[in-house]
Each structure stands twice: as C-alpha cells, then as structure tokens.
Amino acid sequence: MTKRFALGVFDDEDVLLHAIENVRAAGVKIYDVFTPFPIHGIDDALGIERSRLPIAAFFYGLCGLSFALWMQIYMLGFDWPMIIGGKPHISLPAFIPVSFELTVLFTCHGMAITFFIITSMYPKPKVQVMDVRSTDDKFVMAIELKDDTSNLGQLTQLLRDNGASEVNEKEMTKN
C-alpha cells in the first residue's frame, strides 16, 4: 500500500511548534512530526497523551519484588531449609538486597521490552524514513495526502506561511 505525504521541513524547533499550532488550528490533520531530538512542549502542541509506561514500570517492579521474595522464601524456607549461622530460615532482612536488585532488573527490562514493542522497534536491515535530514538538523512535519490532490497547493502555502523552509512530497510504501 502506498501513501503520499506532504513534508514541511523546518529549520528551528520553536518555529515548528508555532507551525504545529497553526496547522492544527487550520483544521489540517498532522500525520506525524519527525525531529532529531526530543522537543519540549511538542506533546502538548500535537495533543499526544502522556505515556502510560510509568504504570507498566510499576507493575514490572512489583512482579520482580514478588518473584524475588517468593523465590527466597520458597527455596530457603520450604524446599530445602538450611541452618546458616543459627539464623531463622526465613530471615527477611537478609532477603532485602536480592529483592531490591530483582525489582530493578524486572522494571528495567520489562519497560525496555514494552517500549520496543509499542513503538514497533526491532532490528531491521533497511529503514524507510520520510526525510534523512530529520535525524540530523531538520524538523519534518508529515501530512498525509488523501486521494484528492487539489489541496496540495493550499497546504504548501500554509506550511510556508508558518515558516517551513521547504515543502516536499513523498510516497511511502507500507510493508
């Protein structure tokens, strides 16, 4: 499937933020914005909701903690109790370090894996990008062009009026 996009290329992130506001105000739907670095305030301008990753992170941590406690209590308390220095089999203070480490381990890896999955990140030998300069010094606003091409001129004008240094057209093949 092939999709066509109008790409507004901007040189400065503050100009881009104004442009996002104005383009959205003009009733144009922005497909996505590609930038070389995270921009403060772009989430609000684009209306991106706050990520729920922290909630996921909390639950991964909870899983790690429960697993660690279960593991230590089961192994040393029930499965094969050993007398170590006359201490109780289940000595919770001694279990704190391992419980803490596993909490961190599960949080970190769980969150990283979730991040990769929801952002569809995986090793890929060839990556299609809208504009190769968007990982260098350009800020690229992509607007999907539906079947009617009549509004391209208007759109170009809108982007240019809002500070785009160039407006390009790009076809992307979805695979």
Partner 1 sequence: MQHVSPVREPLVTGGKTYHDITQDVCRQVEAKPNIRWMAALAVALFFLGVFLYSVYRTLWYGIGEWGLNKTVGWAWDITNFVWWVGIGHAGTLISAVLLLFRQKWRSSINRAAEAMTIFAVICAAMFPVLHMGRPWQAYWVFPLQNTFGSLWANFNSPLLWDVFAISTYFSVSLVFWYIGLIPDFATIRDRAKGPIAKVAYSMLSMNWKGSAKAWSRYETVSLILAGVSTPLVLSVHTIVSMDFATSVVPGWHTTIFPPYFVAGAIFSGFAMVLTLMLITRVVFKLEDYITLEHIALMNKIMMITGSIVGVAYITEFFIAWYSQVEFEQYAFINRATGPYWWAYASMMTCNVITPQLVWFRKVRYSIPMTFVLSIIVNIGMWFERFVIIVTSLHRDYLPSSWAMFSPSIIDIGIYVGTMGLFFTLFLLFAKFFPVINMAEVKTILKYGVDNGPTYTGHDPHHAPTHHHTTPGVPASAPITYTKHD
Q: Is 84 exposed, middle or buried (0-12, 13-18, 19+ CB in 10 A)?
A: exposed
The single residue among 70, 121, 149, 169 that binds partner 1, judged by CB under 8 A, is 121
Q: One symbol per residue from 80 to 119: x for binding partner 1 (CB under 8 A), - otherwise; what is it?
A: x-x-xx-x---x--xx-xx-xxx-xx-xxx-xx--xx-xx
In the complex, what is the shortest distance from the CB of residue 150 to partner 1, in angstroms, rounded to a whole number? 27
Q: Which is nearer to partner 1, 66 or 91 (CB)?
A: 91
Instruction: Look up tokens 């989430």; give the residue.
Output: 43
Q: Which is nearer to partner 1, 11 or 169 (CB)?
A: 11
Backbone angles phi, psi at 97, to 5 degrees: -55, -50
In the complex, what is the shortest distance from the CB of residue 45 to partner 1, in angstroms, rounded to a whole number? 8
The single residue among 34, 63, 156, 170 that binds partner 1, judged by CB under 8 A, is 34
Buried b (16+ CB within 10 A) or exposed e, 113-129: eeeeeeeeeeeeeeeee
